[in-house]
Amino acid sequence: MSRLELNPNFTDPDAFYAALTDLYRERSGPECERINARLILLLANHIGEQTVLEEAMGIAGQDNAPPAEQPASTLRQH
């Protein structure tokens, strides 16, 4: 059974953060919500494993954010 990767795993965290902020720039709230929903579904499909998806949803639903939810620009590879 796979587990959710919580350690920094970005090949280029600054580029990802820049691309993500560019995606939302000058979009309305409802447009951003649609983008979020589509992005979540695309990434969930890529992950595919129900146990990993449930683990991610459980963490995302917690009030206290784990270190993996820091802005991408603060994440560094090991």
pLDDT at 64: 77
pLDDT at 44: 97
Is the residue at 45 inside a domain? yes
- If we measure between CA atoms, which residue out of 62, 50, 63 comes closest to residue 4? 50
Determine contact, residues 78/8, Cβ cutoff 8 Å.
Answer: yes
Q: Is the pLDDT of residue 73 over 70?
A: no
Give residue 36's domain range.
Answer: 28-61
Buried b (16+ CB within 10 A) or exposed e, 20-40: eeeeeeeeeeeeeeeeeeeee
Is the residue at 68 inside a domain? no
Number of structural domains found in the chain: 1
